[in-house]
A = this chain, B = another copy of it.
């Protein structure tokens, strides 16, 4: 499935931290940058996300702010 989201950053999972309902997943993408995603625990289980996995951070253009 191809996505309408304009921003797909490929990388590798460097941390998965689960809370009671919400998890934080950190993905190291190109250039040393680390993207933090806040997703459901259910999604972590469903995708079997764990440190070392190849993963993609997907971000809709309308969710990006610009600072200058």
Number of interface residues of A (CB under 8 A): 53
Copies in the complex: 6
CB pair A2–B47 under 8 Å, yes or no, is yes
- Contact partners of A18 in chain B: CB under 8 A: 21
A2 nearest CB across to chain B (Å):
5
Partner of A3, one of B2, B36, B38, B58: B58
Interface residues of A in 2-59 (CB under 8 A from B): 2-9, 17-25, 27, 29-33, 35-40, 42-44, 46-49, 53-59
* Contacts beyond the supplied A36-B61, A60-B63: 11 A-B pairs with Cβ under 8 Å: A4-B44, A21-B24, A24-B61, A37-B61, A37-B64, A39-B64, A39-B66, A53-B68, A54-B68, A59-B59, A63-B63
